[in-house]
Each structure stands twice: as structure tokens, then as C-alpha cells.
Structure 1
Amino acid sequence: MFPVPTVSVKPVLLPAPGRGTDLPVKISAPVTGNDLPIVLLSHGYGSSLDGYGPLADFWAAHGFVVVQPTHLDSRTVGLAPDDPRTRRLWRLRVEDLTRILDRLDVLEAAVPGLAGRLDHGRIAVAGHSFGGQSAGILLGLRVLDPGSGPAEALSDSRVMAGVLLATAGRGGSDLTPFAAENFPWMNPDFAHMTTPALVVAGDKDDLPLTVRGPEWTTDPYFLSPGKKSLLTLTGAEHSLGGIAGYDARETTDEHAGRVALVQRVTLAYLRHALGVESSGWAAVQDALGAGADPLGHVASK
């Protein structure tokens, strides 16, 4: 399908009692089309609703309504390290996403010409890095946070599928001492993450958070039940070629072809998983399943 013009509106502020500040949201949508599926896109630690243009713009231009919140860990918020909310960031992020799902009517009305064009029955969630954990929780992932007691089931039945990009793996002994001390929520339990998802991992994503190396970010695929697919990007580091922004300084592995592959594969997967059409995803699996593309390969279970 060919891209179409899009429109974006920001910030739309959703009242958020108990959060300390209203929730800012950006909505991007194609200017044409009806029954548009929805993707919630959760940013990585420190980013904001202004990030991830290479994904948000691409998905919107190909028929999706993309909704991006600014979570409290964003550099634009400047939350102090001793703020009591800091230790609950993982949970507050999930509340941000569920708040969006609860108020889709408000967001729809905020974009001129969008009212009545969304398909509220076709919703996916996507996230990069810390945002991948946030998205995964809506898919069934549970967090073993020592500060919040037993892991809770916070999945949301309104979400049909997910895309988890460069997302953290197991906690415990797999973490570096720095990660264990500073990110107590980095203890995911994947055993209940049954909702279908595409996991995207870079084979050079050697994070200082784990002692296991790049394979750590494939855990959401290997340790979760249900229908899952894995796109492994050859030579990709944590920004997967540059998905975090068009000029993001944290991109250490800038590669336009790699970003284009992520765009193509995630779009095909989302259209398939949300029941729009599946021929594109079948073509991706055929092309990348045999390992013929030097930029990456796809596996499914």
C-alpha cells in the first residue's frame, strides 16, 4: 500500500488525578480512511511524545492511528531522583497507557476530521526499551518489583497484539549490580504474556544492564507462551538503526536500511495481528525466514 498524508495533534492533555500532572498525548493519523486500527506507542526511558518519528509517522501514513504519551521519566518532565514517584515509574507508565485506552473518545475528538473513523476493536501496543516492558505488561508480562509486593496481573483485554522493540529480558542474576540497584522493576515474569507479539532485537545490543549480552533482549520471545515472532537485526544496537528519532543523538548504529526493515516488518505484522490483512506478513516471513536478507531474519512459534 502507498503512504498517505497524515495529521498530528499535540499535546492533548488527559486529566490524571494522583499522577502529579496531566498526561500529554500526541495523536498521528492518516487524513483519509475509515475503521482505522490504533497503536499505542510507549517511548524509551527519557524520551517523550516527540520521539520515534520513523515509526509513528510511517505507521500513520500506512493506515494506523498512533497515540504517544509522555511518561514521567521523560527528560522533558525532569522528575527529581528523590521524587516518591521515581520508584513507581514502571507502574505509572502502565497507568498512562490504560488511561489512554479509557479516553480514546477524548483523543479522537481532539483531531479535526478523525471522529468516527477509529476502529476501537483493533488495538495494538508497541514500545522501545523501557517502553517495551510497559507495552508488554498490557500483553500479560508481570513485574516482580520488591517495592510493590507480589506481581500483579495488569494485562488489558482491549489490546490484541504488541510490538516489543529492544526490550529487557530476565532480571535477578542476569542484571548487572547497577541495574539491580537502580531499576528494581527490571524483574519481568514472561510466563503469562500470552497475547500475540512481535519481538525485535539487535544482535549487537550489548547493554550495561545485563551480564548476558545481546541475547538478553530475545527473552520476551523465548520465555513467553502463545503466538510470538522474533525479528533479529544483524549488527543492530539498542536504537535498532535509528528508530528513536530522525536525528536522535542516542543512535549509535545509524543505518537507514535497518530502520526501513523495522518499518516494513512491524507494519506487516500489525496489519496481520489486527486482522487487516495477512499477505504482507506472509511475504515477510517467506523473505526473512530463510535468512537470505543480510539485515535480519524472522522466526515464529
Structure 2
Amino acid sequence: MPTQILSAKPVVLPAPQRGDDLQVRISAPATGRDLPVIVFAHGFGQAMDSYDPLVDFWAANGFVVVQPTFLDSATLGLTPADPRYPEIWRTRVADLERVIDDLDPILAAIPGLAGRVDRERLAVAGHSWGGQSAGMLLGARVAGEGEDATDKRVKAGVLLATTGVGGADLTPFARDNFPFMSPDFTQLNTPTLVVAGDHDQSQLSTRGPDWFTDVYALSPGAESLLTVFGGEHSLGGIHGYRAADTTDESPERVDLIRRASWAFLRKALEIDATDWQNITAAPGPAGSIVAK
């Protein structure tokens, strides 16, 4: 019998200095105790109600998932003319920190949930730009900025289709318009699973799909790499069921990603390593998993 999920949105956190209040969705299993938490960072233009294929699975299998809506979300309609736009990459990180700081009032949106959560078992995850945002809490930095946003409360991470190093690896357009796309992964020490598609050819990079594996190659904390065969930037459609903009829709790819990410986090958060051992031994035809 399927596990019932409870969800509440929007949970509104006042943020006058941000220009728009921070809106959050929270999802959780209806039963269970000592539930770990995932704070999820969406990709460009998405919102708190995106990524149901991942969120539904994680919540149905014992995780509380918290999803903020960032200022770049299409639901808010900001344009590059907005004075906040150049600093959205910083605001995203601040939003994730705000969610962690205010976890108690967010949990209170679902009656009885607060007493069922293990706040010490906290992870972050993110897709695309969200991978950069979440990665900064894991220890990654923007080269040349010197900002350390590492959050010791975060014990593990999952970075999905996260962009690689900048400099000569960026197209001229990316260098001119996205100066923050110059990550430094050398101080990312938190246990992390990296997920990349082997057909993910970015229009922002002069390199091939291996660009999205840089965080695995260059960070000491990225323990494992899940390569999704045939996966493009949506990794089979992780951002929505039957999303019209999914170029590589594949339930098999999505299923591998959600099972592997769930199993990795259970291992990294010291809940149970059995499922991770099983899936690394036999990931199936949709992808491969390697470890350092």
C-alpha cells in the first residue's frame, strides 16, 4: 500500500529586504518518526512545486523535503532589469540558510510533524543552478569571491547536473553574463553524491557532458558519481511528470536517480547503508555508479 504524503504550501517567511517574501513547500510522510530532512534547491525558473518525481519518492520513503522558491522562479516574473537580478546567486544561498534557520516554523505547517523530525540528519540537494546553490552549503565556493557559505548543520548532499569550472570552459556569453559560474570545489568536504547525464551538452560550456562531473573530480567530499546513460539536462525528467520541456523523458532514468539519491542519503546520514550497497552493486541498465 502506498505511503501517504502530507504537503503544505505556501509556507511564507517574511523577507522585506528580499523584495518578495520567501515561499516554501514542505512534504513529509504521514507516519514515521526520526525523519531526516532534505532542503531542495530548484533549477533556473522552477519553483517550490517542481520536482515532484523526486520529492514524492523521497517523502514516501521517509524524508521530509523542504523546497524554497528562489527569485529567478518564473512564478515571480523578475527580469534582468530588476536590480536584484545580478545578486540572485547570493540570494539563493541566503534563502537556503533562511530555510534551515527557520525549520521549526516551516515544520509547524503540518500538524504534529515537528515532533517526528530528526533535525540533526539534514541534507541539501539541488539541480542545475540549484546544484551550485546547494553546493555552497556543502563547501563549494565561487572562485574570486572568497565567500565561505559552508553550513556544518548540513551532513550530506546530492548535486544533480551541477555546472563545472568556469574560465576558458565557459562560452563567451556565459563569461559575460554569468560571472558567478566559476566554482571552486576544492573545499567541498561534505559527503556528496554527484549525478550527471552523459548526453548533457550545455550551451554555456565549450566542453562536453564531462563538464558536469567536475564537482566529482575536483572535490574531496564528492564520494560517488552516478552517470545516467542518455541523460540530458533534465536527467530523464526529474523536474516534473510528463513535463513538456523534457527532451530526454525516461521513467527508468528518473527511477534510478531517486532510488540512488535516497539510498546514498540514508547511508551518508548514518541511517542504513544496505540500500546503497545494493544499488551500487547493481544499478541496472539506466546508469552506472563509481566511487573514489
Fold conserved between structures, TM > 0.5: yes
Q: State the Cα deviation string for residues 230-286 of structure 1 (Å, max 9, x = none).
A: 000111100000101113222100011111111111111111111110000011111
- Whole-angstrom CA distance in 2 between matches of 1:58 and 1:215: 28
What is the aligned partner in structure 2 of residue 172 from structure 1? Answer: 167
Q: How does 1:113-192 map to 2 (within 5 A)?
A: 113-144=112-143, 150-192=145-187
Aligned pairs, how many? 292
Matched AA of 1:165: L
- SS of 1:110's equivalent? coil
Tell me if structure 2 keeps the 8 A contact 1:167–1:220.
yes
Query: Structure 1 residue 3: deviation in Å?
Result: 4.8
- Whole-angstrom CA distance in 1 between matches of 2:271 and 2:4: 20
CA RMSD of aligned residues (A): 1.1
Query: Structure 1 residue 85: deviation in Å?
Result: 1.1
Tell me if structure 1 keeps the 8 A contact 2:223–2:291.
yes
- SS of 1:18's equivalent? helix
- 1:269 and 2:264 matched: yes
Unaligned runs of 5+ in 2: none
- 1:219 and 2:214 matched: yes
Unaligned runs of 5+ in 1: none
Query: Structure 1 residue 84: deviation in Å?
Result: 1.5
- SS of 2:115's equivalent? coil
What is the aligned partner in structure 1 of residue 86 from structure 2? Answer: 87
- 1:112 and 2:111 matched: yes
Query: Structure 1 residue 18: deviation in Å?
Result: 1.4
Q: Which moved more, 1:9-18 or 1:121-130?
A: 9-18
Q: How does 1:39-78 map to 2 (within 5 A)?
A: 39-78=38-77
- Whole-angstrom CA distance in 1 between matches of 2:155 and 2:2: 24
Query: Structure 1 residue 184: deviation in Å?
Result: 1.3
- SS of 1:235's equivalent? coil
Matched AA of 2:11: V
Tell me if structure 1 keeps the 8 A contact 2:242–2:249.
no
What is the aligned partner in structure 1 of residue 239 from structure 2? Answer: 244
Output the TM-score relative to the length of structure 1.
0.95
Tell me if structure 2 keeps the 8 A contact 1:242–1:255.
yes
Query: Structure 1 residue 15: deviation in Å?
Result: 1.6
Query: Structure 1 residue 57: deviation in Å?
Result: 0.8
Question: Percent of aligned pairs with the same residue?
Answer: 59
- 1:230 and 2:229 matched: no
